[in-house]
Chain A
Amino acid sequence: MKRRPKPIKLLVIHVIMIILSIIIIYPILWMLFASFKPMTEIFSSASLLPKHWTLEHYTAGWQGVGGYTFTTFFRNSLILSVLVVIGSLFISTLTGFAFARLKFKLRSLLFMFMLMTMMLPMQITLIPQYIIFHKLGWVNTFLPLVVPSFVGVSITPFFIFLMVQFVRGLPKELDEAATIDGCNTLQLFLRIILPLSKPALITVSIFAFYWTWDDFFSQLIYLNNPDKFTVSTGLNMFLDNSGNSQWGDLFAMSILSILPVIILFLFLQKHFVKGIATTGMKG
């Protein structure tokens, strides 16, 4: 039973979508075309399209810094983002399930505290965390950027809260049915809750990937050597306080930097499908 709109409605929807798309995408076109303009044209000319097309910003920008090209930076960002996705899925499902479905002492207190950690700006907690990671000898490795996501720190409280909300929305009869069938808590989690949470898991993956990909401040603080640089720390190298910034290169690499995320999203959004239980069970 899929609800398919009628042809006229379909046309109306498409027209609305296309107009909305143009408005939404327009600002990015400016950057896209600027990345093909020679440096002398970017700020002195008012036209959207370049007068002289050039690829120099793409070739020069890709050269990177200190002997490491953007190939290295993309690879590092990719490794980091994938690891954080794994960590976020791990911690948000376990913790989210516990908060949403299990009764235990201190539940509300712990949950409240988790929310509170999101209300302190990271600029403040950065220093004490840096001291801890420095003592651990983890500075200039990926560990300070990855390990927190496995133990529910940094961006992951958001995901845990998201999972809590999602799991609370799943029908409780499932739990009861499973318990009657002899499932223990772990089996309930693995066999029932996890498969039903697919849309939420996809959401967590997209966000964890993108937020790590886009994160600048902690990568800046913890990564020192150019062989560990990521795309966002690499992009930062095009800018200068004295105005001698390499704008064209910055735009070119910024455009390239969003491609992997777009591809990932294009791939994952297809899996936004209904969970098994929600399609049939209730009525």
Chain B
Amino acid sequence: MKRLTTLIVSALSVALILSACGSKGTSSSSNGGNIQLMWWGTQDRTNMTTKVIKQFEKANKEIKVTPQFTGWDGYWSKLSTQTGGGNIPDVIQMDKQYLRNYVKRGTLMDLSKTNIDLSVYDKSSLNTGKVDGKLYAIPTGVNALALFYDPSMLKKAGVSIDPNKPMSWDEYASLAETITKKLPNTYGTQNFAGSIDDLELYARSKGEEFFSEDAKSLKISKSTLTDWFNYWLKLQDEGATPPAEYTASLTDGDIEKSPIVKKDAPFGMFWSNQFGTMEQLANRKLKLALPPGGNENKPYFLKPSMYWSIAKKTKSKKASEKLVSYLLNSKDAVKVMGTDRGVSINSSVREAQQNNANDTDKEVISYVNNVTKLAGSALPVDPTSANNIIDLLTTTAQEVLFKKVTPEKATDQFFTKATSLLKKG
């Protein structure tokens, strides 16, 4: 083994010798500097962000911002390759599913020890950027789970709902059953058995959580998970949700294929920021309502749409702080960005967002305002194995819906695997 190691070292050192110079010199004067800002997003977000950067550079002549952006596909491969390769960007757009991984490996800076003014943000939402009590990420904004519905389809079925008064899960199920009976070739609701967000809501409505606070174990009880699988399986058997093959084609994020788009169902549960796109895709007027859950246990929650983080290794700490503050709080930035990165957790910025918004966005903002009032405790940051567990839940739910295993057995399987993944960390 030693010889092999020597071989590797020598092969790599050939490359090192060949290299004329290492990383490019970055000026590290106290205030100025050249900072790399990395984000994912579509054409729109990127163009808006580029504009904001130009404004920022104009206001801070000593700072130069180099943008790096990609679509969501590939963003995490690129970021981890760069980080592993010793080339981490200074300011990073972060996601809930990945935050803890980057924190655990000591790559991010504790933002409570910086000059960023944290007093302007909503406390509870700010907590969603904390890992082990330290703040590593500030939410750019929040989204809330919402029940999207097609009012005209409900009217046709002769039913109605009150968007501000949450249903219980049982009420939702019977509503779905009624619609299936009343309307030909229509399902009551999309099947959400495999969605971790909806399951989280379900668990919270029973006074539970999905993950424990320290992210080292599952907090949801076995019986709740079994109930959850049974809930959707029963609806599927009754024809109130699409059949398993239909549901299996709707993997996470592919909202363009949702039954509500195709007029196959009047209901779907999605994130509030997807509302505008959903209306466009469906090509008709939709509405937002509180998802099922009842309100005794305060199940509703806000999810950070994304965060800003700063690399621990940054050579331009002050400049990075300035940029993050600007992106989060500047009125000029809000004017350009609108709610693209979510509904702000800074109340004065949120007001500005509301004033600039078009009708659809106004609907979304007022919905998020409503959930903010109702929300219970914030969700802890995802465990490091979150990606793995989400995939596991998707697969397990598919096995239940395709009737390869019973809900009880599926629950046991899921618990064994998830527990061991969480333990490993």
Contacts and interface: CB of A to CB of B under 8 A. Distances in A.
Contacts of B85: 127, 130-131, 134, 139
B21 interface: yes
Interface in B35-57: 36, 40-44, 46-47, 50
Contacts of B262: 43-44
Interface string A13-40: 0000000000000000000000000011
A246 B42 contact: yes
Interface string A128-151: 101110111101000000000000
A246 B66 contact: no
B24 A137 contact: yes
Given A130-B85, A221-B81, A240-B42, A135 B19 contact: yes
Contacts of A224: 36, 66, 68
Given A236-B73, A238-B42, A243 B254 contact: yes
A126 B16 CA distance: 17
A40 B280 contact: yes
Contact of B43 (A39, A127, A131, A238): A238
A242 B19 CA distance: 41
B259 to A, nearest CB: 12
B4 interface: no
Contacts of A126: 81
B184 interface: no
Contacts of A65: 43, 46-47, 50, 69
Contacts, number: 141
Given A226-B67, A239-B72, A244 B81 contact: no
A43 to B, nearest CB: 5
B256 to A, nearest CB: 5
Given A127-B81, A224-B68, A217 B280 contact: no
B209 to A, nearest CB: 23
Interface string A226-258: 100000010011111111111101000000000
Given A66-B46, A66-B47, A236 B283 contact: no
A225 B70 CA distance: 10
Interface in B262-277: 262-263, 270-271, 273-274, 276-277
Contacts of B73: 236, 239
Contacts of A247: 256
A216 interface: yes
Nearest to A135: B19
A39 B281 contact: yes
B183 to A, nearest CB: 18
Contacts of A87: none
Contact of B71 (A61, A221, A225, A239): A239
Given A216-B74, A237-B70, A243 B256 contact: yes
A41 interface: yes
A242 B69 contact: no
B43 A237 contact: yes
Contact of A236 (B71, B87, B255): B71
A117 interface: no
B77 A221 contact: yes
A220 B78 contact: yes
B81 A43 contact: no
A225 to B, nearest CB: 7
A220 B79 CA distance: 10
Given A132-B15, A135-B15, A243 B46 contact: no
A216 to B, nearest CB: 7
A45 B282 CA distance: 9
A226 B362 CA distance: 33
Contacts of B263: 44
Contacts of B256: 42-43, 243, 245, 247
B67 A43 contact: no
A216 B271 CA distance: 29
Nearest to A123: B77
A44 B277 contact: no
Interface centre among B73, B254, B262, B263 (most CB of A within 10 A): B73
A128 B263 CA distance: 49
A42 B67 CA distance: 32
Contacts of A238: 42-43, 71
A240 B16 CA distance: 38
A64 B271 CA distance: 27
A233 B42 contact: no
A63 B78 contact: no
Nearest to B38: A224
A117 B264 CA distance: 49
Contact of A240 (B66, B72, B82): B72
B86 interface: yes
A283 interface: no
A243 B253 contact: yes
Given A126-B81, A236-B71, A135 B22 contact: yes
Nearest to B50: A66
Given A137-B19, A137-B23, A243-B277, A217 B74 contact: yes
Interface string B2-39: 00000000001001101111111000000000001000
A134 B43 contact: no
A65 B19 CA distance: 33
Contact of A136 (B18, B71, B283): B18
B103 interface: no
B67 A66 contact: yes
Given A40-B283, A135-B22, A225-B68, 5 more contacts: A39-B281, A40-B280, A67-B50, A244-B42, A246-B42
26 contacts: A39-B280, A43-B261, A65-B43, A65-B50, A65-B69, A66-B50, A127-B81, A128-B12, A130-B82, A132-B15, A135-B15, A135-B22, A136-B15, A137-B22, A216-B74, A221-B81, A233-B70, A236-B70, A236-B73, A237-B71, A238-B42, A241-B40, A242-B271, A245-B42, A246-B42, A246-B43
Which 9 pairs across A and B sit closest by C-beta, in order of nearness?
Answer: A243-B255, A40-B283, A241-B72, A236-B71, A132-B15, A44-B283, A65-B46, A66-B50, A135-B19
